Every structure is written in structure tokens, then in C-alpha cells.
Structure 1
Amino acid sequence: MFTATPSLSKSISILFFAFLVISGMYFGREFLIPIAIASLLAMLFLPFSRWLEGKGISRAVASLLCVLLLLVGIAGIAALLSWQASDITNDLSQIGDRLVKIAADLKQFIAKNIGISAEKQKEWLSKQSSSGGSTIGTAGAILSSVMRILVDGILVLVYLFLFICLRAHLKKFVLMIVPTGESKEADQIINDAGKMAQKYISGMGLMIVMLWILYGIGFSVAGVENALFFAVLCGILEIIPFIGNLMGTSLTVLMVLSQGGDDKMILGVLTTYLIVQFLQTYILEPLVVGSEVNINPLFTILTLVLFEIIWGIPGLILAIPMIGIVKILCDHIKPLKPYGFLIGKEKNSVPEIFTILKSWFGGSTTKKNKA
């Protein structure tokens, strides 16, 4: 898009611009997070909207049907979780007694092996409870957070409808602000970014369904009560990279302990976690999600850390597709191509174990480039 050669001053200007963008994302996070979520969802539902429009349905009605489809999907997952959670609520008293016993055993273990007496532990916990503020203040904070989530959820739905309905208008605006002669390149960037987001999000959704099946089979074999609930929970938490799978498995282990599970059951849960993670890393992600987001591991972690700092949990969920869009921009803009190369990975580099696994299915992979 640009023809000037990179220079030190230009690189400094680019880095300064990136700093301003990151600062704006941090201070405007309450405004930008719903827009970012709705934008990615709009890219996901765009093929469905086009299909409906091809059947003679107006764009406004097609956009509304996309929103309704999203709500139906969310309601279905919520109904499945609540159905399974109903069995857990019936045993809450028993689970509470078990947790109290586990806490007492933990206190005794700390007192015996670390040397902190039970009285000291109780005193420390009471100080922590008192420093946490009043019950009314805590309840108010929780209510405020719930209201914020509800408002953001409504905004996401409204933005989703408007982004799909007004997509042609928004695209024309982008093309109008692009310099003369660069509209074709800008149109290619928009199309590539949309396709990348569609493939990544749809692939992630399909992978989560597969993880539900794998976790459900593994937890059922291990003898976990309400195995389907924890399988669905672990699968949903996979949308949070690196952290989600540990959170889901930790909650499952904690619930197994509270339900009186033995060592074999805990070992079964951990074995299931390890097997599923192996299958996810080397089979599901490469074959289902694919390599649409071609980011190297270093910048994947850096991006996740940065987005968690500026946007919290939503940042962790949005980080990977958004850095993928940034890479597409860098690859199409000449002064930014070195940055696209920096955050990307070698196109022909394929993990050795994936090469072996893919060969079992009759696939072919390109050989790795030597360093």
C-alpha cells in the first residue's frame, strides 16, 4: 500500500502509534469491548446472513435472525448447564460438609508440616475477611458487575444487528478514506480479515463441541458425578487460551474431592485432561481450527498477557483473532511487513508429531525449512 522504504524514524513512529492505540484500548475498554465482540460475531454470522439474503429475505430480517440464532445457542448451552447443575444443587449440603472437612484437614496439614498453628490461620483469615469490606459493599459490587454484564450483552446484540445490516455502508466508508489507487488493496484486507475471523471462530466452536464429547467420555469413565456438566464447562472455558483448560480441570478435581471421590477418580480426571490436551494440541487445533491465525508462540503469549492487562478476561478471548487481523494488516502494508514477519511463523514449519499424525490420515505436509 505504501512505497517508502522503512527507516528508523518511521519505525519509531509506528511504535509510538501502537503505544497510542494500546493506551486508547485501555482507557476506552468499557466502550470498545462490546464493539470488538460484536465485530467478530458479525464476521462469523456474515455467511449465514448472505445465505438468507440469497433466499429473498431482506437484510434487516436476516440480521435479526442472526441475532436470534445467537440467543438460541446461548440459551441452549445455559439450559444444558442448568439441567446438569440441578443434580449438583440437590447435594449442596453434603458437598458443603465435605468442603468443611477438607478445609479442616488442610489446616491440620499446614499446622503439622509448615508450623502455622490453627489459631494463627484463623486470625489471618479473619483479618482478610475484615479487610475485604462490608457485606453490603460486596453485594453492591457484585450487583454492579452483573448489571454491567447485562448492559454489555445488550450492546453486543444491538451492535451485531447493526454491523450485519449496515456492512455495505461501513465498507464503503473504509474504502472512501483510503488513498486513491489503494481501494483494491484495502478491499482485499477487509475480505482476508473477515475470512480469517470466520474460520477461526467457527473452527473454535466445532473444536469446543468435540472437547465436550472427549471430556464427557473421559469423565464418565473416571466415574465423575454429573460428568456432562463438567465436560460442557471445561469445553466452554477453552475459549480462554491456556488458562481456561486449567480452570475447568481444577474445578472438576475440586468437585470430585467435595463429593468424596477417591484417588483413582482424581487420577482419572487428570489423565483425561492430559489426553484431551494432547489431542487438542496436535490434532483438533491443526485440523479443525487450522492455521488461519499464523502467529508464533512467543507473540501469542505476549498478546494474551497484553490483552489481559488492558481488557481482562474478554481480552484473553479476543486476543488471538485480533492479533490475526493485525498480522493481515502488516502483511499488506509495506512498511509494516517486517512486523508481520516478526509476529508470524514460518509458513512451512510443521511440528514433527503433527506430520506423523497427518500422514496416518493420508495427508501430506511440507517439509520443514532448515534454519
Structure 2
Amino acid sequence: MTSDKNKLQLPTHLKVLSVLLLIIVIVFILILGKNLLIPLFLAGYISALLVPMGNWLERKKISRVLSAVISMLTAVLGILGLLTFIALQVASFSRDLGNVGERLNKYLEDLEVFLSDKLKIETGIGKGIDQDYLIGLLQDNSRSVADFIFGTLGSLTSFVLLIVFMFFFLLYRDHLTRFISHLFKDHDPEKVENEIKNLRKVIQKYIIGVMKVMAILAVLNTGILFGFGIKHAIFFGVLAGVLNIIPFLGPFLGAILPTIFAFLTKDSLWYPVGIVIAFQVIQLIESNFLTPKIVGSNVNLNAFVTFLGLMVGAAIWGIAGMIIIIPTLAVLRQIFELNEATLPFALLLGEERENQT
């Protein structure tokens, strides 16, 4: 009893202030260590995904070092293959913008006639715009798609760090697990190790589920665009599937590029309208069937926390932050559920439970 009485009890306002200061310090560290922490986080999640492959190789009597190298190279080849495909598609897309200026000027002339005849408004937009400037602008924007993909890591140095971190995470995965279990001396080490393995499984199921959804969406989007006769259908379809990893914003960004391209390259407005409707239907299927069935409740974050996390992640780390923040919040929610003291934070991050009244 005396030990409880001798404990220092801070006033409520000082507790709130200390929490705010802690948040400020964490955000400052995240911003300052961006070039190191982004590949570290990404390597951690990719390594968690590669652990089953490493375990399988070791069961085949392959050493830990060699299994880590094989698993790491498999992931690197997959990443490089995706980036190479997107880069080639972007280059092809950029070269196919020659007639965009003429079509856009024609639309502007038609709009000028409509406004002048029907509404008696003179805007001057019928004069058109400089085509060379437009093509240059579109090419710059198309190159920004490549920047979007390659800019996730930030630099070649970050990519090299990603490879190195993946190797060491795979090599010392058991060692790190034992370290964390000994860090919590007040808990049963075996229980802590099981919880760490469960967290690893949460990450694995989430990433695998998201990749399955992305692949299905890429096929559906590509099929729809092929049906409409849109050039570069594979590029637009795969890009829309990849962008779906970003909640809320990803589906919009994935649909707007093929819609604009169809508007500027097709003779009828029914093509962009049809693409918008088709992508909306696909998005409804994804949100109401694919994601709940495939990804399931592995994340189970409420919409407000997800949206706020995306904004914070984008403000701190840009696109990489938007990708990393969702599985990070999911892991935090799982960790908060392990202790009664932090259970309210898990409830805050999770979905609202239906009233049982």
C-alpha cells in the first residue's frame, strides 16, 4: 500500500501535455529519419510476407543465410519487374499523345459554340490552346506517374537499404523475436513470442489479401478498358489496381487517367462516361465483396482513423506514408488489445460495434 501512495501522480493537464509532447517528438523523428525509416518499415512488412517462404526453404535443409538470400532476391525481382513494366508503359503512353491537342481544341470550339448560341456567353475558349504546350504538359504529367511509383522509396540509396534490411530481418527473425520476448520480463516469454507470431500473421494475411484484390482489380479494369477499345489498357488497368492500395484516394486516381485519355482520344463522350460507370461498378464490387471476403478483418480500422492516418502519413512521408500507415495502424491495434491499459486505444482505432439494444 505504501508503494502505491509513494507513486508520483501527475495532474491531468500535465498528462495531456506529456502525451502531446511525445507525439511531437515522434513526428519530428519520423520526418528527420525519413530516408532511413521508410525502407526500414517497408523491409519489415515485406520480410514478414517472406517468412513462410524462408521457413519452407529451411525445411528443405537449406541454410538460414541462403534461404534469406533466395527470399530476398525473389522479392527484389518481383519489385523490379513491376517497376520496369510500369516504366515501359509510361514511356509508350507518353509517345502516344500527338493528336490530343487537336481533339481538345475541337471540344473547346464545340463548347464555345454551345455557350454562345444557347447562353449568349462569350468566353474565347474556342480559340484553343497551344498544342505543343499541351503535349509537353501531358508528357510531364505522365512522367509524374513514374515519379509516383519510383518516388515511393525516394532514391537508389533507399532501395539498397531496403534490400539490406530485408536480408537482416529474414536472417535474424528468430533472434529479434527472442529479444522482444525478453524485453517484456513481466510476461510469459512463450506467450509474447506467440503474440509476435500472430502479429506477423496479421501482416502476412493483410498484404497477401491486398495483393489478391489488386490482381483481381487489375484484370477487371484491363478487361473493361479492352472492351471499350482504349489504348494502353494493360497500363491503365494495372495502375488502377496498384493504386487501390491507397484507401479512398487510390480508386479515384486509378479511374481518372483512363477517363481523361478516353475523352481526348475517342470520338464519343460515351467512352469516358462508360469507363466512369464501369469503374464505379468495379469499385462497389471491391468494397462490398472482394475486400471483405479476401482481406477480411485483418485490418478492421474505422473509416475516420483510416482517413486521418492517410492524411498524416502523406504529410510526413508522402506516398510511402500513405502505403505504410494502414498496416502500421493495424499492428498497433493488435498490440493495444494485449493490455488492459491500452485497450481503449484499440477500441478507438477499430470499427464501432453495433449497439446491442
How do 1:302-317 residues align onto structure 2 when only pairs under 5 Å count? 302-317=308-323
Aligned-residue RMSD, C-alpha:
3.7
State the aligned residue count: 330
User: What residue is the counterpart of 1:292 in the other structure?
Assistant: 298
User: What residue is the counterpart of 1:370 in the other structure?
Assistant: 356
Q: Distance in 1 between matches of 2:105 and 2:168?
A: 50
Q: Secondary structure at the match of 2:99?
A: helix
Q: 2:341 aligns with which of 329, 335, 346?
A: 335
Q: Distance in 2 between matches of 1:61 and 1:204?
A: 28
Q: Distance in 1 between matches of 2:11 and 2:267?
A: 63
Residues 261 and 27 (structure 1), Cα distance of their counterparts in 2 relative to 1, 3 Å cut = farther
8 Å CA contact 2:112, 2:123 repeated in 1: no
Q: Distance in 2 between matches of 1:250 and 1:185?
A: 48
1:74 aligns with 2:79: yes
Q: Distance in 1 between matches of 2:63 and 2:243?
A: 36
1:35 aligns with 2:35: no
8 Å CA contact 1:192, 1:328 repeated in 2: no
Q: 1:219 aligns with which of 218, 221, 225?
A: 225
Instruction: State the 1:283 CA deviation.
Output: 0.4
* Gaps in structure 2 of 5+ consecutive residues: 134-146
Deviations 1:153-187 (A, max 9, x none): 22111111111111122222222332344534432
8 Å CA contact 2:153, 2:320 repeated in 1: no
Deviations 1:117-174 (A, max 9, x none): 67xx99xxx9xxxxxxxxxxxxxx99x9799422212211111111111112222222
Range that drifts further, 86-95 or 224-233: 86-95
Q: Distance in 2 between matches of 1:286 and 1:10?
A: 39
Q: Secondary structure at the match of 2:98?
A: helix
Instruction: Determine which structure has greater relative contact order: mean sequence separation of CA pairs < 8 Å that are 6+ residues apart, divided by chain length.
Output: 1
Range that drifts further, 150-159 or 77-86: 77-86
Instruction: State the 1:333 CA deviation.
Output: 2.4
Q: Distance in 2 between matches of 1:167 and 1:88?
A: 42
Instruction: State the 1:338 CA deviation.
Output: 1.0
How do 1:222-371 residues align onto structure 2 when only pairs under 5 Å count? 222-346=228-352, 369-370=355-356
Q: 1:52 aligns with which of 41, 57, 68?
A: 57
Q: 1:25 aligns with which of 30, 33, 38?
A: 30
Q: Distance in 1 between matches of 2:49 and 2:344?
A: 29
Instruction: State the 1:14 CA deviation.
Output: 4.8
Range that drifts further, 173-182 or 199-208: 173-182
User: What residue is the counterpart of 2:184 in the other structure?
Assistant: 178
Percent identity of paired positions between Structure 1 and Structure 2: 27
8 Å CA contact 1:234, 1:249 repeated in 2: yes
Relative to the length of structure 1, the TM-score reads 0.77
1:65 aligns with 2:51: no
Q: Secondary structure at the match of 2:318?
A: helix
Q: Distance in 2 between matches of 1:105 and 1:63?
A: 61
Q: Distance in 2 between matches of 1:319 and 1:147?
A: 15
Q: Secondary structure at the match of 1:93?
A: coil
Relative to the length of structure 2, the TM-score reads 0.79
Instruction: State the 1:71 CA deviation.
Output: 2.7
Instruction: State the 1:23 CA deviation.
Output: 2.8
Instruction: State the 1:330 CA deviation.
Output: 1.0
Instruction: State the 1:86 CA deviation.
Output: 6.8
How do 1:95-110 residues align onto structure 2 when only pairs under 5 Å count? 95-98=100-103
Deviations 1:89-132 (A, max 9, x none): 55332335445666x659969x97998767xx99xxx9xxxxxx
Q: Distance in 1 between matches of 2:356 and 2:229?
A: 47
User: What residue is the counterpart of 1:149 in the other structure?
Assistant: 155
Q: 1:161 aligns with which of 162, 167, 171?
A: 167
Range that drifts further, 11-20 or 147-156: 11-20
Instruction: State the 1:302 CA deviation.
Output: 1.4
Deviations 1:15-74 (A, max 9, x none): 543443233222222221110111110111111111111111111111111222123323
Q: Distance in 1 between matches of 2:222 and 2:92?
A: 16
Q: 1:202 aligns with which of 208, 233, 245?
A: 208
Residues 187 and 146 (structure 1), Cα distance of their counterparts in 2 relative to 1, 3 Å cut = closer
Residues 64 and 106 (structure 1), Cα distance of their counterparts in 2 relative to 1, 3 Å cut = farther
8 Å CA contact 2:39, 2:153 repeated in 1: no
Q: Distance in 1 between matches of 2:59 and 2:92?
A: 45
8 Å CA contact 2:336, 2:342 repeated in 1: yes
8 Å CA contact 1:208, 1:238 repeated in 2: yes
Residues 90 and 29 (structure 1), Cα distance of their counterparts in 2 relative to 1, 3 Å cut = closer
Range that drifts further, 42-51 or 177-186: 177-186
Deviations 1:224-269 (A, max 9, x none): 2232221111111112221121112111111112213421111110
